Structure 1
């Protein structure tokens, strides 16, 4: 089974680049199958990691950054893959 962990944070005013670099530099205790990092308007940063594990497995996650670096609490979601489509 594939599990995707999503981590999303919004940077404090003017600190978007710093939050992005902070997230990119974080090492996890184990290596995921895949890891992608995204940025979005309003200085938001999203990191998605994919794992070959049961849905309820304990998996390493990115920590919370320093409170001064973000405008609100980090949002986290966990998803279980139910279907994979190959490009045509």
Structure 2
């Protein structure tokens, strides 16, 4: 069981690094992974909202819809935390790209 958790964590880390600079689809896929607990990872609606937000900013209508859907299950504080995390990700990727 420990190996499957480590494998899932490795896959998520690889997906995270690709999505930070990647397409709306990659961001959406990460949002789904966090939303549903894909690959044995725990469900994290704050992370899911962050990635759906980034997908939406990159033009994904599906990301927009999922962001709105999970926001209904979140507190205002959790949504604000997810938005701060998305802004921090945008700032970090812009700095690295410069």
Structure with greater Cα Rg: 1
Common topology (TM > 0.5): no
Higher relative helix content = 2
Structure with the larger RCO, 1 or 2 (CA within 8 Å, 6+ apart): 1
Bigger proportion of residues as strand:
1
Question: Normalization by structure 2: what TM-score?
Answer: 0.27
Under a length normalisation based on structure 1, what TM-score does the superposition of the two structures give? 0.28
